[in-house]
Structures are given as C-alpha cells and as structure tokens.
Amino acid sequence: MAIDDDRIRVLTLVRDEPHGTDSATLAKSLDLAKEVVERHLLYCADYALVAWNRHVKGAGRALITTRGRDYLARQRL
C-alpha cells in the first residue's frame, strides 16, 4: 500500500499547487526520490489524473485535471 499512499500524496500536492509544480519540487516537499515522483506522475498522466509533459530532467509542470480532482474527492481527500 505504500506505493498507493505515495501516489495519492503526489496527486494531493499537485492539486494544492494552483499553477502546477515540477517533479523536483514535489520530491523535495514529499521527501521522496525524484525518480519515484516521476514514476507516480507518469502513472497519473497515463490515467489522465494530471497533465504532465516530462521535459529533460523532469522539469515539466504537472497540473491536476478534473478527473484527478474527482478521483481525490472519491477518496475523500
């Protein structure tokens, strides 16, 4: 369950950043490895929970989508 918990933490933090955030900032805020955060962002992007275009070194901004907000609402977060 740790993977799901970390993924939800990433998604929640993306939701809380109205202008989006990048993987390095997320990694620092969540005390996770940047590669782990990028893996969660990629998963969320694959399921349209976030809009994220990965650039060199993960510098792309991640923004939560309506579907991502709905998902968190169903999780009661």
Q: Per the structure, how many domains does the chain have? A: 1
Q: What amino acid is encoded at 28 in this protein?
A: K
How confident is the chain (77 residues) per 10-residue block, as mean pLDDT? 82 94 93 93 95 75 96 93
CATH of the domain at 35: 1.10.10.10
| 3-class DSSP state of 34 | helix
So what's the pLDDT on residue 73? Answer: 96
pTM of the complete model:
0.88
Longest CA–CA span in the chain (Å) reads 34
52, 62 contact by CB (below 8 A): yes
Q: Residue 17: which domain range?
A: 2-74
